[in-house]
Structure 1
Amino acid sequence: MVAQGFTVDMNKPLVFQVGHLGEAYQDWVHQPIPGKESPRFFESDFWEFLTRTAWWVIPIIWLPVVFWSISKSVKMGHTYPQIALLVAVGIFIWTLLEYTLHRFLFHIKTKSYWGNTLHYLLHGCHHKHPMDGLRLVFPPAATAILLIPFWNLVKFIFTHSTSPALFGGGLLGYVMYDVTHYYLHHGQPSMELQRNLKRYHLNHHFRIQTKGFGITSSLWDRVFGTLPQTKAASKSS
């Protein structure tokens, strides 16, 4: 047991501290520190290395897997228009998965030691340090583990020849999501659509963290009623 009023020492590795916050963890983790520093998570250099990923690693590692998966469906006789449709469906499925994971898993309420610890590793660290450029994309080792059940689920639902292209489309959707997420935090968009998307996402971090769960678009927020009000609308209501 830890006494009430536990304070996290930001000068020490964070991961095994945050669990001691108990019920206070939710308030603590949703008070962002906007600086670009990258805090230390673990004493171990090995585990610390696994938590840090440059954004460009994601397309380098996963795009070859995307193309390989899609090529398998091509070799099984599907036409290019069919392949394009399957990939588009895979991307569409990813957008729903992106929203669902962000809303119901990444924002799950925790208060136990291990619940807080795991949540911090999964997503809480991003809300506490939203500008940490080395922890904005998902570590490839963790992605590889999660891809196994995703691939098995796709094979179970769809046919033998369509599954690879659908899987490749879903993985392409993930790559688009992760690089978009990085860009929304560190890019300087010049187009209005990109500026709106950046504003939309940073609003989730710094103003209304219980709404706006879409990253690549606001589609599913509109469908499921989690679209945040604009500042003008909230002032007038």
Structure 2
Amino acid sequence: MVAQGFTVDLNKPLVFQVGHLGESYQEWVHQPIVSREGPRFFASDFWEFLTKTEWWVIPLIWLPVVFWAIFKSIRMGLTFLEVSLLVAIGVLVWTLLEYTLHRFLFHIETKSYWGNTIHYLLHGCHHKHPMDGLRLVFPPAATAILTVPFWQLLRLFTTPSSTPALFGGGMLGYVMYDVTHYYLHHGRPSTEVPRKLKKYHMNHHFRIQDKGFGITSSLWDRVFGTLPPSKAPQKKT
């Protein structure tokens, strides 16, 4: 595609190209290329490796953290019922965070060189290549960095014994989100609920990309008025 005199070469590493699209970046990035083979991001093999994550790595790494956090609250004296309630609240908080990040950060409109570049790395690449299976889940190193402020924020508003259970619930919600997201793109659901959820998410990618920000459910889309219409015109390419 040619934009503002610049041509994006899909056969070369993309990350440091897309910033040159300027104001045309938003149009370009929302014209999906449906291919299971993902693009090259970086010329460096090291940095390229860091952008790729198998889906099963997420539960493998983070579910032990979830169980550690839950049992920490139990060891600190909370009952099983209290911990269960806190975990459920943590999951609910994650679903709101999932919606908020997707709507206001992942879909922020950029036009500067570095704005476009960062957006492409954060979420634009997923809309451009929605079937790239190695870039569907969040790299664990980045997640580990973000868990620190999440933990500290919980400590400000909760008691020492309830913080771990809430944190565990939030992390459980995150694991459910990432695994569900992968399944919605690459799974073949045979029952009604996951089929509807898959259709809901595919509509976000291929029909109306400024609505339907929920991944694990449409709850917050309903609450905040971003539920997509039952029928929407096909996005022009």
Q: Same fold (TM over 0.5)?
A: yes
Decide whether the 8 Å contact of 2:4 with 2:24 is kept in 1. no
**Structure 2 equivalent of residue 140 of structure 1:** 140
Q: Deviations over 1:186-219 (max 9, x none)?
A: 0000110100000000000000000000000000
**Structure 1 equivalent of residue 174 of structure 2:** 174
Equivalence map 1:20-99=2 (5 Å): 20-99=20-99
**Structure 2 equivalent of residue 127 of structure 1:** 127
Amino acid at match of 1:134: L
Deviating runs (4+, > 6 A) in structure 1? none
Range with greater deviation from structure 2 (145-154 or 176-185): 145-154
Instruction: Give % identity.
Output: 78
**Displacement after TM superposition at 1:157 (Å):** 1.2
**Displacement after TM superposition at 1:4 (Å):** 2.0
Q: If the length of structure 2 is used for normalisation, what is the TM-score?
A: 0.96
Q: Deviations over 1:102-125 (max 9, x none)?
A: 000000000000000000000000
**Displacement after TM superposition at 1:80 (Å):** 0.5
Take 1:25 and 1:192, find their aligned partners in 2: how far apart are those partners? Answer: 37
Take 2:5 and 2:46, find their aligned partners in 1: how far apart are those partners? Answer: 31
Range with greater deviation from structure 2 (172-181 or 149-158): 149-158
**Structure 1 equivalent of residue 157 of structure 2:** 157
Amino acid at match of 1:79: T
What are the ranges of 5 or more consecutive residues in structure 2 without an aligned counterpart?
Answer: none
Equivalence map 1:209-228=2 (5 Å): 209-228=209-228
Amino acid at match of 1:98: E
Q: Deviations over 1:60-93 (max 9, x none)?
A: 0000011111111000000101110000000000
Range with greater deviation from structure 2 (198-207 or 32-41): 32-41
Take 1:13 and 1:186, find their aligned partners in 2: how far apart are those partners? Answer: 24
**Structure 1 equivalent of residue 109 of structure 2:** 109
Amino acid at match of 1:215: I
What are the ranges of 5 or more consecutive residues in structure 1 without an aligned counterpart?
Answer: none
Q: Deviations over 1:34-65 (max 9, x none)?
A: 11111110011111011000000000000001
Decide whether the 8 Å contact of 2:14 with 2:40 is kept in 1. yes
Take 2:233 and 2:225, find their aligned partners in 1: how far apart are those partners? Answer: 16
Take 2:45 and 2:35, find their aligned partners in 1: how far apart are those partners? Answer: 23
Take 1:183 and 1:191, find their aligned partners in 2: how far apart are those partners? Answer: 13
Amino acid at match of 1:129: H
Take 1:150 and 1:49, find their aligned partners in 2: how far apart are those partners? Answer: 27
Decide whether the 8 Å contact of 2:14 with 2:41 is kept in 1. yes
Q: If the length of structure 1 is used for normalisation, what is the TM-score?
A: 0.96
For residue 134 of structure 1, give the secondary structure of its aligned residue in structure 2. helix
Amino acid at match of 1:209: Q
Take 2:233 and 2:149, find their aligned partners in 1: how far apart are those partners? Answer: 41
Take 2:185 and 2:199, find their aligned partners in 1: how far apart are those partners? Answer: 10
**Displacement after TM superposition at 1:5 (Å):** 2.4
- CA RMSD after TM alignment: 1.2
Take 1:234 and 1:5, find their aligned partners in 2: how far apart are those partners? Answer: 30
Amino acid at match of 2:10: M
Decide whether the 8 Å contact of 2:73 with 2:162 is kept in 1. yes
For residue 134 of structure 2, give the secondary structure of its aligned residue in structure 1. coil
**Displacement after TM superposition at 1:234 (Å):** 7.0
Take 2:120 and 2:184, find their aligned partners in 1: how far apart are those partners? Answer: 21
Number of residue pairs aligned between Structure 1 and Structure 2: 232
